[in-house]
Structure 1
Amino acid sequence: MADNDPHTLVQNVYDYWQSYDPDYEATFWIGDDGHGKNGAPYHIVDIVRDMEAAEKRIAELYDALSELDFDED
């Protein structure tokens, strides 16, 4: 959030959501053996599903933030 302006927070969440790539994010959780690491699910498909769920949650966060009236006194 730049300059304590909540509108920039909403914009940043939107930008993050629009650039979010579940497949790319999943690569951070796949180990050298081709399976999940650091507590991630064993199967790649499950990791991707988790990342798709994360993308949905980011969209929900954006929706919730965009409904707030930050200009209200």
Structure 2
Amino acid sequence: MTFKTFRKSNATIIARTTGVEAAAYQAGLSKVSMTRKHYVEEYKEALDTRAALYAFNPDEPRPSGVGM
């Protein structure tokens, strides 16, 4: 792990828990936009679209937790 990787990870965690302003302050950056662009990793979690896909085959049994 490099210092840059640690700094980016730290900024991402702080931004997601307390906001990007707090992450900028912690990283010592004066511009929130710079923090957001260069230090906070984009949130890449996929949306759960299984319910929409099950509309093609309504007779298919659905796993628990899949609504619609």
**TM over 0.5: same fold?**
no
Q: Scaled by the length of structure 2, what TM-score is found?
A: 0.28
Which structure has the larger Rg over C-alpha atoms?
2
Q: Scaled by the length of structure 1, what TM-score is found?
A: 0.26
